[in-house]
Chains A and B, each alone.
Chain A
Amino acid sequence: MIEQLKFIFLESIKSIKRFPIYSIISSLTIMVCLIIITFIIYLSDITNNLSKNFKKNESVLKVFIKNDINIEESLKICQDIKDVYKFDIMTFEDRNNLFSKIDINLKTWHQDDLEFIPCLCSFNIDVESVEEIDDLSISIFDKYKNEIEKIVYPRKYLVRFEEILSLAYSVIFLIGLIVFIVSIYNISNIIKLSIESRKNVIDILKLHGASKIFIKSPYVLEGIIHGLIGFVLSSLFIFISFNLFSSFAYEHFLAQSLVTSISLKVYILINLIFGVILGFIGSNLATSNYLE
């Protein structure tokens, strides 16, 4: 068994030595692919964080209390809604408060008659989708239909935001997929070259009774080694970039929102997994298509 493993390992190393330029190209392709995959994960994370913050700030449910209910009663109702639905933040504005925000001309017309203005309570809600806000709004309205005039929230705005977000995720995913496929294709071609140059050895092995797995293994291992070299290079790049960006973000307030919530270790681990997977799939594809 040890002799077999030794043979497989030495064959794959010899194969790499035989085509150093191609091996470097293959490893660099994997490196680029891993960096792009990392960037895509980073981008998804940032987009997700920004989207959460954006939704938190923008998802505001404005509940207008009927104008025949007095201010004290209105506040009570708002407080009740907050408790029942477990909202964290609530802003209550009585009719005087709202009146101060009204246009100056309107003010002169209605300064003696504020009763038509309802009291308003605004709830900042933390939800994932617009549908959830819809459900919440209906539920509140059904429960307090005698006290509530209407409920308003920026539905169209949030739907548009979700559409843009979904498009952004699709583009990111598509780019990732293309890079992944190109890398696999590239590795596969390099392994094919390797197999082509060792055709006589493969023939000899077959004639001496080597099993399919034994013949395939050095080339699959070669692909995995390319993947590991690509992983080391990309990890180095990511490590340096991560540290440079962290120190930059520390000094610049605006850049702080671009700091990822995923740790460097996780990025490195993802790189390792993807590096090995890329190398394995690429080389396996070449051996399956070519060695059969």
Chain B
Amino acid sequence: MINFIDVTLKHKNSRGIHNISFDIEKGQFVYLMGPTGAGKSTIINSIIKSATPDSGQILVNNLDVSKLSDHNLSQYRRDIGMVFQDFKLIDDRTIAENIALPLQIIGIQKSIIYNKVQDVLNKVGLKHKVNSKPNELSGGEQQKICVARALIKNPKIIIADEPTGNLDPSSSDDIIDLLEQESNNGTTIVMATHNYPLIENRIKHFIELNNGRVVR
């Protein structure tokens, strides 16, 4: 599903990733672990092509990510759900509008969007917040909305970059529960985290990074 082949991406401050190779199978829930600056976010950014590798190849569904044209990149990103540490919700839009955004982008009908928004809000348990604005929600709730927004387009892959980084332990557990539930339905999940205690009892597959290299 996701294949990294000798991928190197150096940042200006000499951080980045160096000759990294790994394979992630379809439906796996893989944790990217490591301290700050280990290269977790660089891997995440490389998968969504927010950063382009200096060398090596990244294949997602046998598609060479670094060779995607602008048009194909937007099509490619439509199949990936993303969850961010800073939520990336639009403040002047309601929760429903925020969740509906990925479907609005691809021009889905209003009635279909409405039903799907209701479904995912049910899934994350925040149906009563449908007309609230993001700043009226707690951090944990905002992250659940972020997960709901990732789920609404039924993605094949979900990329989560430190989704629990700003949350208390209870909310963090809720978020990982949601992602695991999605993984059980066949979605491939890649989640970056530096919070090992949070995931140690849940871990099935992991890639441990340090100084831009795979340690385990």
Tell me, yes or no, whether B82 is within 8 Å of chain A by CB: yes
- A205 partner residues in chain B, CB cutoff 8 A: 101, 105
Contact among B76, B79, B104 with A7 in the assembled complex (CB-CB below 8 Å): B104
Contact among B48, B77, B78, B109 with A3 in the assembled complex (CB-CB below 8 Å): B109
The proximity string for A residues 1-27 relative to B, scoring 1 for CB distances below 8 Å and 0 otherwise, is 111101100000010000000000000
- List B53-83 residues whose CB lies under 8 Å from chain A: 70-71, 73-79, 82
Tell me, yes or no, whether B15 is within 8 Å of chain A by CB: no
CB within 8 Å for A209 and B78 given contacts A2-B110, A7-B104? yes
Instruction: Tell me if A208 and B75 are in contact (CB < 8 A).
Output: no
Instruction: Tell me if B102 and A208 are in contact (CB < 8 A).
Output: yes
- A7 partner residues in chain B, CB cutoff 8 A: 104-105
Instruction: Tell me if B110 and A3 are in contact (CB < 8 A).
Output: yes
The proximity string for B residues 104-131 relative to A, scoring 1 for CB distances below 8 Å and 0 otherwise, is 1111111001000000000000000000
**Distance of A143 from chain B, by nearest CB (Å):** 71
Tell me, yes or no, whether B203 is within 8 Å of chain A by CB: no
A203 to B101, CA, bound (A): 13
A14 to B48, CA, bound (A): 29
Instruction: Tell me if A4 and B102 are in contact (CB < 8 A).
Output: no
A1 to B106, CA, bound (A): 8
Instruction: Tell me if A207 and B105 are in contact (CB < 8 A).
Output: no
Tell me, yes or no, whether A214 is within 8 Å of chain B by CB: yes
Instruction: Tell me if B102 and A212 are in contact (CB < 8 A).
Output: no
- A201 partner residues in chain B, CB cutoff 8 A: 90
Instruction: Tell me if B104 and A200 are in contact (CB < 8 A).
Output: no
A169 to B92, CA, bound (A): 51
A200 to B91, CA, bound (A): 10
A4 to B73, CA, bound (A): 19
Tell me, yes or no, whether A289 is within 8 Å of chain B by CB: no
A4 to B113, CA, bound (A): 12
Closest to A4 in B: B107
Contact among B50, B88, B106, B109 with A209 in the assembled complex (CB-CB below 8 Å): B106
Instruction: Tell me if A204 and B101 are in contact (CB < 8 A).
Output: yes
Q: Which of B77, B105, B107 has the most CB of A within 10 A?
A: B105
**Distance of A197 from chain B, by nearest CB (Å):** 11
**Distance of B85 from chain A, by nearest CB (Å):** 13
Closest to A3 in B: B104
- B110 partner residues in chain A, CB cutoff 8 A: 2-3
Closest to B91 in A: A200
Tell me, yes or no, whether A210 is within 8 Å of chain B by CB: yes
Closest to B81 in A: A208
The proximity string for A residues 197-226 relative to B, scoring 1 for CB distances below 8 Å and 0 otherwise, is 000110111111111101000000000000
A202 to B107, CA, bound (A): 17
- A4 partner residues in chain B, CB cutoff 8 A: 104-105, 107
Instruction: Tell me if B70 and A214 are in contact (CB < 8 A).
Output: no
**Distance of A8 from chain B, by nearest CB (Å):** 10
Contact among A1, A2, A211 with B71 in the assembled complex (CB-CB below 8 Å): A211
**Distance of B120 from chain A, by nearest CB (Å):** 14
Contact among A3, A14, A200 with B108 in the assembled complex (CB-CB below 8 Å): A3
- B102 partner residues in chain A, CB cutoff 8 A: 208-209
Q: Which of B74, B75, B103 has the most CB of A within 10 A?
A: B74
A214 to B75, CA, bound (A): 13
A209 to B76, CA, bound (A): 7
Instruction: Tell me if A14 and B92 are in contact (CB < 8 A).
Output: yes
Q: What 6 pairs between A and B have smallest CB-CB spacing?
A: A209-B78, A209-B77, A209-B74, A208-B102, A4-B107, A210-B105
Chain B contact residues, CB within 8 Å of chain A: 48, 50, 70-71, 73-79, 82, 88, 90, 92, 101-110, 113
Question: What are 11 A-to-B residue pairs whose CB atoms are below 8 Å?
Answer: A1-B107, A7-B104, A200-B88, A204-B88, A204-B90, A206-B74, A206-B77, A208-B101, A208-B105, A209-B76, A209-B78
Chain A contact residues, CB within 8 Å of chain B: 1-4, 6-7, 14, 200-201, 203-212, 214
Given A205-B101, A207-B48, A208-B82, 15 extra CB contacts under 8 A:
A2-B109, A3-B110, A7-B105, A14-B92, A201-B90, A204-B88, A206-B77, A207-B50, A207-B77, A207-B88, A208-B78, A209-B76, A209-B77, A212-B74, A214-B105
